[in-house]
Amino acid sequence: MTAPLTPTEIAQTASLASHVLKAVSGADRDAALTAIHAALEANKGAILAANSKDMSAASALVTQGKLSQSLVKRLDLSKHGKWEDMLSGILQVKSLPDPVGKTTLATKLDNSLDLYRVTSPIGVLLVIFEARPEVIANIASLALKSGNAVILKGGKESVHSFAAIAKVIREALESTNIPPGAVQLVESREEVNSLLDQDQYIDLVIPRGGNELVRYIKEHTRIPVMGHADGLCAIYVAEDADEQKAVKVVVDAKTDYPAACNAVETLLINSATLTTVFPKIAQALIYAGVSLRCDEVSLAALESTPSTSGVTLKAGSTITAAVAEDYDTEFLELTLAVKTVDSDDEAVNHINRHSSGHTDAILTESKERAEDFMKRVDSAGVFWNASTRFADGFRYGFGTEVGISTNKIHARGPVGLEGLMIYKYKLLGDGQGAGSYGSGEGKKRFLHEPIAF
Amino acid sequence: MTAPLTPTEIAQTASLASHVLKAVSGADRDAALTAIHAALEANKGAILAANSKDMSAASALVTQGKLSQSLVKRLDLSKHGKWEDMLSGILQVKSLPDPVGKTTLATKLDNSLDLYRVTSPIGVLLVIFEARPEVIANIASLALKSGNAVILKGGKESVHSFAAIAKVIREALESTNIPPGAVQLVESREEVNSLLDQDQYIDLVIPRGGNELVRYIKEHTRIPVMGHADGLCAIYVAEDADEQKAVKVVVDAKTDYPAACNAVETLLINSATLTTVFPKIAQALIYAGVSLRCDEVSLAALESTPSTSGVTLKAGSTITAAVAEDYDTEFLELTLAVKTVDSDDEAVNHINRHSSGHTDAILTESKERAEDFMKRVDSAGVFWNASTRFADGFRYGFGTEVGISTNKIHARGPVGLEGLMIYKYKLLGDGQGAGSYGSGEGKKRFLHEPIAF
């Protein structure tokens, strides 16, 4: 048995593999996905056995009160449909169009001097995620499809599952034209820390996990980081919001999956709706088990209209006074901060100040008002009469997603394969020097004619 | 007179201005460029007077041996055509198509649930550059055209010129719909250091200057940095390179503007060319005043063929033995490192290891060989039979350039207006919740149909 690679060696290995990946064909990359799919299928027993080790260890921690039951659920690969979804996900990624080598710009600079901009892989990705062992297959597929090498670090709770899946992937790659070093696994936090220093080999870090993980990584690396620390989404109920739509959208955005980053955390209500639409929304939320943290005005509105549109409390839900931090809190549970605003302007300003730039929505019947909101709110997703929960790569039709980015450069919002690509400029000449061109006498002029592609 | 803003206030002011800029029309942004152009024209006298103060100070430093004469030349705004070029550059940027609000993807998720991806400004840029006062007008134009606010820091040698130009721009903006805070100037290094911490307000840092500046900035900020530290470009002369093309391309790439980042610094020669094409290239370089630092094999080749294709030394040029560091050096002068390789593979590996990922070229008559090289070399520009000096936004037909990026994400190579844009997703719904969609019974399916745009 050989000694395990050091983090530097892991990064170098990934870099070398990335150079091979850049040169192989799309068919070669697809063949690797087929091989991984088949190998996972063939080794289901061994992987599920490893997964049940993780489950036992996690269950023991739950008994000791050191781990939440919901985390154990996320670990479970044998849970209905999860294994099948993981395998079909690989084939889905395979079926996507090859993102490598696509021409996105072509210009004739001069006769026999043609410029092409073509998509190319970024290089080496470091993907760090928590729990959910099936993510490894998903990320490995996305990386290989896009011609990138990837180093993966999973959560410590799923270490056996990860190791088993990684071993199968590695062995599967040995029969293909893709070097096994294209997908590597690291297990310890120390290795990750060291990898975060390898900016000469690693081109992009993608953290998929909680706020704390993302912040930690952003603080500890010079490598670009793509992801989102917070998902603090807001919905603004404008004065002309339709009652039925508002109730449906807000309840969905809060309750469909409260732990998701695209769940709504702040409800901004125009003061004109305090006695009209707002109490209906509040009642529906309360019925759905949501606790409201209301500013003074909205609290008073709910208390003062008990007979007509007033709100009846249900077990488990509370209506309490909000504190300032509530408008900067990602609750990730059935709690919603409510704030009254007097104008669209105030709503937009609140969002640009407090939201995390993930997804924010307006509920209004006015297209003009919606367009103004969507132009001025500086978030990855700006929605009109639709739940913030739609902010998701699958729902957007990308087939799959690498994650959701609140970055202001490169890729923003749900990131599909495109987010793992960059481009290069190819210039095909015939021996020209740049000194022959210019505006002076005797100098050649550039043609700059578009080339059809 | 009010107290000058603190760096935090500068960043906040820029952020507020960026929110206004996102909402104004393209016509408003163009009108600002027209106003700036007119104001600069009207204040030519005052600006040139300020510039001559900088020139006098710089000339004094030259006399004391503390500054190079070439820097003084770069400072001079009254040098033939520079002022006119600066002004016409503003109108050129104005004439480019509006990059804001362009739809780049449109998908019908369901009936009355339409997704649009539209380009939007990044937000707040911090641009740091050395000398060359005319750059301020160029950068301000690019920023405003693309709807971004910008904070500018110029070199200390051109502080009077910068201040004069910035004042004129600021006053010009007061008559427009663009807040004057959209273009701000900072003067001291300390302010820049403090601004590099303002990652909640500043979205992108663009350093335009030497290696040291870029490295310093990358080390001292969490804000994404777009630029290039080095321009270590290589040209590979393959065994079937055409002699005439090779001579022309290599001489141009080395001598057209040796101080530029796209000048060639390393010449890789296939060993098959040692007694054929290489001596011709070497002779032409020597005639052009270039000193060669050759590896053992190429040095021997030049020495052993004096009578036939041998190289005659010209005054000022030397042929010496290379040391290892020469292949990692950006000479920025008439010096070229030469290395012999035995295969295309070796050339590609050398480049991927030593080049800065800026621009690298192959000289060959084989399209297949060229395509293989361009696929495998991981650089922003990969050229075939053309000088590396073509790597430039103007030459590429972008009208202008923000700089050249060797980043692996967002923007790579010469960066035009597109590099100052990101996008947002607009979802136009009719009151839908995400919970109604899915694969289960009673759930709606997404349509995911492309919408023509």
- Nearest chain B residue to A365 by CA distance is B430
DSSP-assigned letters across all residues of B202-227: --EEEEES-HHHHHHHHHT-SS-B-S
The 10s digit of each residue's pLDDT in A109-134 is 999 999 999 999 999 999 998 768 88
Q: How far apart are CA B232 and CA B211, in angstroms?
A: 11
**Radius of gyration (C-alpha) of chain A in whole angstroms:** 26
The 10s digit of each residue's pLDDT in A46-71 is 999 999 999 999 999 989 988 888 78
Q: Is the pLDDT assigned to residue A448 strictly greater than 80? A: yes
Is A432 in contact with B249 (Cβ distance < 8 A)?
yes
Please give the C-alpha separations between residue B350 and each of A308, A353, B270, B379, in angstroms, as whole numbers.
78, 49, 12, 12
Q: From edge to edge, which strands make up the β-sheet containing B149-153?
A: B183-186, B149-153, B124-129, B204-208
The mean-pLDDT minimum among A266-280, A297-311, B116-130 falls in: A297-311
| pTM exceeding 0.90 | yes
Chain A residues near residue B380 by CB distance under 8 angstroms: 424-425
- Nearest chain B residue to A253 by CA distance is B433
DSSP-assigned letters across all residues of B11-43: HHHHHHHHHHHHHS-HHHHHHHHHHHHHHHHHT
Q: A3 in helix, strand or coil? A: coil
Task: Count CA within 13 A, CB hemisphere, residue B339.
Answer: 24
Instruction: Give the residue with greater pLDDT, A217 vs A359.
Output: A359
Q: How far apart are CA A388 and CA A358, in angstroms?
A: 9
Identity at A111, one-letter amino acid code: N
Is A432 in contact with B253 (Cβ distance < 8 A)?
no
- Nearest chain A residue to B423 by CA distance is A412
Mutate to test the interface with B, among A109, A110, A116, A427 (most CBs of B within 10 A): A427
pLDDT at B218: 86
Report the sign of the C-alpha dihedral through residues A52, A55, A60, A63, in that order: negative
Q: How far apart are CA B447 and CA B452, in angstroms?
A: 15
Angle between the N-to-C axes of helices B26-42 and B44-63, in degrees from 0 to 180, rounded to the nearest 10? 70
Q: Count the residues in chain B.
A: 453
Q: Is the pLDDT assigned to residue A308 strictly greater than 60? A: no
DSSP-assigned letters across all residues of A35-69: HHHHHHHHTHHHHHHHHHHHHHHHHHHHHTTSS-H
Q: Which of A249, A386, A424 sits opposite B382 (nearest CB)?
A: A424
B245, two tokens: 């093309």
Chain B residues near residue A113 by CB distance under 8 angstroms: 386, 390
Q: Which of B23, B107, B386 sits opposite A396 (nearest CB)?
A: B107
Is B22 in contact with A378 (Cβ distance < 8 A)?
yes
> Of A351, A338, A401, which is closest to residue A379 (Cα–Cα)?
A351
Mean per-residue pLDDT for B309-322?
A: 76
Q: From edge to edge, which strands make up the β-sheet containing B103-110?
A: A319-321, A291-294, A335-341, A264-270, A233-237, A359-363, A381-386, B421-432, B113-121, B103-110, B449-450
Q: How far apart are CA A90 and CA A76, in angstroms?
A: 19
Q: Is the pLDDT assigned to residue B307 strictly greater than 80? A: no
How far is A256 from chain B, CA to nearest CA, in Å? 6
Q: How far apart are CA A219 and CA A425, in angstroms?
A: 32
DSSP-assigned letters across all residues of B120-163: EE--EEEEEE-S-TTHHHHHHHHHHHTT-EEEEE--GGGHHHHH
Percent of chain A beyond pLDDT 70? 97
How far is A335 from chain B, CA to nearest CA, in Å? 18
Q: How far apart are CA A138 and CA A416, in angstroms?
A: 12
Q: Which of B123, B414, B423 sits opposite A378 (nearest CB)?
A: B123
Residue in the block written with tokens 């978030």: A379
Mean per-residue pLDDT for B206-226?
A: 87
Is B390 in contact with A109 (Cβ distance < 8 A)?
yes
How far is B262 from chain A, CA to nearest CA, in Å? 11
The 10s digit of each residue's pLDDT in A6-36 is 999 999 999 999 999 999 999 999 999 999 9
Q: How far apart are the first and last CA of chain B?
A: 52
Q: Is the pLDDT assigned to residue A312 strictly greater than 80? A: no
Q: How far apart are CA A398 and CA A415, in angstroms?
A: 8
Q: B340 in helix, strand or coil? A: strand
Q: How far apart are CA A370 and CA A242, in angstroms?
A: 13
- Residues whose CB is less than 8 angstroms from the CB of residue A60 and which lie 6 or more positions away in sequence, other chains included: none
Report the sign of the C-alpha dihedral through residues B156, B158, B163, B169, in that order: negative
What confidence tier does B308 reach under pLDDT thresholds 50, 70, 90? very low
Chain B residues near residue A436 by CB distance under 8 angstroms: 252
Mean per-residue pLDDT for A175-193?
A: 92
- Residue A409 is given by DSSP the state S
Is B19 in contact with A352 (Cβ distance < 8 A)?
yes
Mean per-residue pLDDT for B332-339?
A: 96
Mutate to test the interface with A, among B12, B205, B262, B390 (most CBs of A within 10 A): B390
- Nearest chain B residue to A251 by CA distance is B433
Query: How many A/B residue pairs have CB atoms within 8 Å?
Result: 259
What confidence tier does B1 reach under pLDDT thresholds 50, 70, 90? very low
B444, two tokens: 């709606």
Mutate to test the interface with A, among B358, B432, B447 (most CBs of A within 10 A): B432
Percent of chain B beyond pLDDT 90? 79
**Could you tell me if B182 and B17 are in contact, meaning their C-beta atoms sit under 8 angstroms apart?**
yes
The 10s digit of each residue's pLDDT in B2-53 is 678 999 999 999 999 999 999 999 999 999 999 999 999 999 999 999 999 9
What confidence tier does A2 reach under pLDDT thresholds 50, 70, 90? low
Percentages (nearest 5) of helix, strand, coil residues in chain A: 45, 20, 35
A390, two tokens: 């739609």
Mutate to test the interface with B, among A116, A373, A408, A410 (most CBs of B within 10 A): A408
Q: Is the pLDDT assigned to residue B235 strictly greater than 60? A: yes
**Could you tell me if B127 and B151 are in contact, meaning their C-beta atoms sit under 8 angstroms apart?**
yes
Q: How far apart are CA B194 and CA B213, in angstroms?
A: 16
Is A433 in contact with B251 (Cβ distance < 8 A)?
yes
Domains of chain A: 7-98+122-219 (3.40.605.10), 233-396 (3.40.309.10)
pLDDT at B208: 86
Interior angle at CA A144, CA A143 and CA A146, nearest 5 = 70
Is A409 in contact with B224 (Cβ distance < 8 A)?
yes
Mean per-residue pLDDT for A75-79?
A: 89
**Radius of gyration (C-alpha) of chain B in whole angstroms:** 26
Is A431 in contact with B395 (Cβ distance < 8 A)?
no
Mutate to test the interface with A, among B118, B199, B356, B396 (most CBs of A within 10 A): B396
Q: How far apart are CA A196 and CA A198, in angstroms?
A: 6
The 10s digit of each residue's pLDDT in A78-107 is 888 889 989 999 999 999 999 999 999 999
**Could you tell me if B40 and B47 are in contact, meaning their C-beta atoms sit under 8 angstroms apart?**
yes
- Nearest chain B residue to A410 by CA distance is B410
Q: Which of A378, A395, A422 sits opposite B109 (nearest CB)?
A: A395
**Could you tell me if A251 and A285 are in contact, meaning their C-beta atoms sit under 8 angstroms apart?**
yes
Q: How far apart are CA B55 and CA A139, in angstroms?
A: 57
| Distance of alpha carbon A208 from the chain centroid | 7
How far is A412 from chain B, CA to nearest CA, in Å? 7
B315, two tokens: 């005054």
A294, two tokens: 């209301």
Q: Is the pLDDT assigned to residue B350 strictly greater than 50? A: yes
Is B218 in contact with A222 (Cβ distance < 8 A)?
yes
B415, two tokens: 């960066």
Q: How far apart are CA A279 and CA A386, in angstroms?
A: 20
How far is A295 from chain B, CA to nearest CA, in Å? 26
Chain B residues near residue A413 by CB distance under 8 angstroms: 423-425
Mean per-residue pLDDT for A264-270?
A: 98
Instruction: Give the bridge partners for B160, in sequence order.
Output: none
Mean pLDDT, rounded, of chain B: 93
Instruction: Give the residue with greater pLDDT, A440 vs B103.
Output: B103
Report the sign of the C-alpha dihedral through residues A4, A7, A11, A16, in that order: negative
Residue in the block written with tokens 């048995």: A1
Q: Which of A248, A376, A429 sits opposite B22 (nearest CB)?
A: A376
- Nearest chain A residue to B258 by CA distance is A435
Please give the C-alpha separations between residue B148 and each of B21, B29, B36, B293, B417, in angstroms, as whole numbers.
7, 10, 16, 45, 11
pLDDT at A130: 77
pLDDT at A295: 97
Mean per-residue pLDDT for B310-332?
A: 86
Q: A156 in helix, strand or coil? A: helix
Q: Is the pLDDT assigned to residue A438 strictly greater than 60? A: yes
ipTM of the complex: 0.93
The 10s digit of each residue's pLDDT in B356-396 is 999 999 999 999 999 999 999 999 999 999 999 999 999 99
**Could you tell me if B354 and B232 are in contact, meaning their C-beta atoms sit under 8 angstroms apart?**
yes
Identity at A254, one-letter amino acid code: K
- Nearest chain A residue to B203 by CA distance is A408
> Of A193, A191, A212, A37, which is closest to residue A130 (Cα–Cα)?
A212
DSSP-assigned letters across all residues of B40-97: HHHTHHHHHHHHHHHHHHHHHHHHTTSS-HHHHHHH-TTSTTHHHHHHHHHHHHHHSP
- Residues whose CB is less than 8 angstroms from the CB of residue B136 and which lie 6 or more positions away in sequence, other chains included: B152, B154, B162, B165, B166, B169, B185
